[in-house]
Amino acid sequence: MAQILDGKAHADRMLEVVRTSVEARISAGLRAPCLAVVLVGENPASQVYVKNKVAACIRTGIRSLERFLPETTSSSTLLATILQLNEAPDVDGILVQLPLPKPLDAKAIVQRIDPAKDVDGLHPLNQGLLFQGQKGLRPCTPNAVMNMLKAYGVVMQGKRAVVLGRSEIVGKPMALMLLEEQATVTIAHSRTLDLPALCREADILVAAMGQPGLVEGSWIKPGAVVVDVGINRVEKLGLGERIFAKDPKKLETLKAKGSVLCGDVRYGEAFEVAGAITPVPGGVGPLTIAGLLMNTLQACEARG
Ligand code: GUN
């Protein structure tokens, strides 16, 4: 049976650190940090993310500024918004909620964010600093996952780590951060041959492919640390019956409500084999927002 890595509890501790730091700034006569979130269009998942970010800001005393733009916003209008936020002296962090509606080019937009305010850590300058192992703003999810693994005392040095997924926001930076901690890292992806055999070598397995229940219990090395970054909504009963064979509560929820949230790992199966594992929900999800607010505080303090 695995130890549960409680992302929600760790995120609460991170948010408490942010809250007390903000309070200390204000007591010292300094201004509160400010995070600007830009949301283009009406993607329902993005609207939920933004709402959660605003709630976390309120909880920690960080000022939050929202810019809601219509689905049809042109690239030049969006850029004008970014440039205005870059210039605003009291804005410390800028986050453009992804994905952007077509035909907007996320990479081109993110490159125009002031790197000192790039709290997503997606600007090429911040990516370069991470590549070189230097201090900078780092992508929130992998940064917060590393923070949690260290807090749980997970040893990374010399271990085999496998990261499933090669996204700029999770997979690639996660691999670089594990490497920085002296793990031996492999990035696997949709074209990797014999994924199960590769996963079985992992002492630390990070799943970030966005495929519900991809990782089976038999893919996991006994005692491995499993971090499940996936947050997927499953609606198909056939799929649910396959991936929730050892997760009767999930299957029950799916049948009762018509959908259920799950990760990229078959939790019920993995739980019997792994040494430690993050649940979904309540694992990595809450860490992302905690990481974002940590980055906003870091950006504010670095800007002086
Ligand atoms: N959409 C889903 N997750 C994220 C994130 O971490 N940052 C941004 N900008 N958009 C997202």
Does any domain span residue 268?
yes
> Which pLDDT tens digit goes with each residue over 157-199?
999 999 999 999 999 999 999 999 999 999 999 999 999 999 9
Q: Read off the pLDDT band of 63 (50, 70, 90).
A: very high
Check 92, 97, 117, 172 and give the catalytic one.
97
Q: Residues of the chain with pLDDT > 90: what percent?
A: 99
Res 1 pLDDT > 90: no
Please give the single-letter amino acid code of residue 207.
Answer: A
What value does the mean pLDDT of the chain take? 97
For the CA of 141, the closest atom of ligand 1 is 6
* Residues 173 and 272 grouped into a single domain: yes
285 Cα to the center of ligand 1, angstroms: 11
97 Cα to the center of ligand 1, angstroms: 5
**Total tally of structural domains belonging to the chain:** 2
Question: Whose alpha carbon is nearest atom 1 of ligand 1?
Answer: 98
Of the candidates 99, 114, 129, which is a domain's last residue?
Answer: 114
Query: Which residues sit with their C-beta closer than 6 Å to ligand 1?
Result: 49, 95-98, 120, 140, 169, 288
* Residues 166 and 88 grouped into a single domain: no
User: Quick check: is 120 catalytic?
Assistant: yes
The pLDDT of residue 284: 97
Q: Read off the pLDDT band of 72 (50, 70, 90).
A: very high
What average pLDDT does this structure show over 86-97?
A: 98
Dihedral pair phi/psi, residue 164, rounded to 5°: -95, 110
Please give the angle made by the CA atoms of 99, 102 and 107, to the nearest 5 degrees.
55
Give the mutation target among 107, 110, 120 for probing the ligand 1 site: most ligand atoms within 8 A of CB.
120
What average pLDDT does this structure show over 209-223?
A: 98
What average pLDDT does this structure show over 201-225?
A: 98
Q: Give the residue numbers spanning the domain of 172.
A: 140-285
**What CATH code is carried by the domain that includes residue 58?**
3.40.50.10860
> Which pLDDT tens digit goes with each residue over 276-287?
999 999 999 999
* Residues 104 and 206 grouped into a single domain: no
* Residues 182 and 70 grouped into a single domain: no
User: Quick check: is 97 catalytic?
Assistant: yes
* Residues 110 and 153 grouped into a single domain: no
* Residues 276 and 149 grouped into a single domain: yes
The pLDDT of residue 299: 98
What average pLDDT does this structure show over 126-141?
A: 98
* Residues 152 and 258 grouped into a single domain: yes
> Which pLDDT tens digit goes with each residue over 242-282?
999 999 999 999 999 999 999 999 999 999 999 999 999 99
Does any domain span residue 23?
no
For the CA of 139, the closest atom of ligand 1 is 6
Res 232 pLDDT > 90: yes
Question: Whose alpha carbon is nearest atom 2 of ligand 1?
Answer: 98
Does any domain span residue 161?
yes
**What CATH code is carried by the domain that includes residue 172?**
3.40.50.720
The pLDDT of residue 304: 82
On whether the CB atoms of residues 135 and 299 are closer than 8 A, the answer is no
37 Cα to the center of ligand 1, angstroms: 10
288 Cα to the center of ligand 1, angstroms: 9
Does any domain span residue 261?
yes
* Residues 110 and 150 grouped into a single domain: no
Q: Residues of the chain with pLDDT > 70: what percent?
A: 100
* Residues 146 and 97 grouped into a single domain: no
Q: SS3 string of the chain? A: CCEECCHHHHHHHHHHHHHHHHHHHHHCCCCCCEEEEEEECCCHHHHHHHHHHHHHHHHHCCEEEEEEECCCCCHHHHHHHHHHHHHCCCCCEEEECCCCCCCCCHHHHHCCCCHHHECCCCCHHHHHHHHCCCCCCCCHHHHHHHHHHHHCCCCCCCCEEEEECCCCCCHHHHHHHHHHCCCEEEEECCCCCCHHHHHCCCCEEEECCCCCCCECHHHCCCCCEEEECCCEEECCHHHHHHHCCCCHHHHHHHHHHCCEEECCECHHHHHCCCCEECCCCCCHHHHHHHHHHHHHHHHHHHHC
Does any domain span residue 201?
yes
For the CA of 96, the closest atom of ligand 1 is 9
* Residues 156 and 222 grouped into a single domain: yes
The pLDDT of residue 238: 97
Does any domain span residue 169?
yes
Res 77 pLDDT > 90: yes
For the CA of 95, the closest atom of ligand 1 is 9
What average pLDDT does this structure show over 39-61?
A: 95
170 Cα to the center of ligand 1, angstroms: 10
The pLDDT of residue 266: 98
Does any domain span residue 121?
no
Closest CA to 88 of 111, 67, 59, 57: 67
Of the candidates 54, 80, 114, which is a domain's last residue?
Answer: 114
Res 225 pLDDT > 90: yes
Please give the angle made by the CA atoms of 47, 50 and 52, to the nearest 5 degrees.
110
Question: Whose alpha carbon is nearest atom 4 of ligand 1?
Answer: 98
The pLDDT of residue 151: 98
* Residues 110 and 147 grouped into a single domain: no
Does any domain span residue 293?
no
* Residues 144 and 101 grouped into a single domain: no
